[in-house]
Amino acid sequence: MTDRIALYLGLFILAVIAGDLLLFGPEHVIFLGKKLYELIEWLAFWR
C-alpha cells in the first residue's frame, strides 16, 4: 500500500465516521468501539 492510498483511505474512513456522527449521533460509534475493543481482547487471548 502506498502512502497516497493509505492517506485517501484514512480520510475516507474519517469522513464516513464524521458523517455518521452528524446524521445519527454518537451511539453507533460508541457501540462499535466497544465491540472492537472486545474483539481485540478476545484475539489477544488466543495469541
Residues belonging to the chain = 47
Q: How far is CA 32 from CA 1, 7, 12, 19, in A?
A: 26, 23, 18, 15
Residue 29's Cα: distance from chain center in Å? Answer: 8
Per-residue pLDDT tens for 1-47? 899 999 999 999 999 999 999 998 889 889 999 999 999 999 987 77
Please report the pLDDT score of residue 28 as a whole number.
87
Residue-averaged pLDDT of the chain: 91
Range of the structural domain that residue 31 is part of: 3-46
pTM over 0.75: no
Q: What is the pLDDT of residue 44?
A: 87
Count the domains in the chain.
Answer: 1
What per-residue confidence (pLDDT) applies to 36? 94
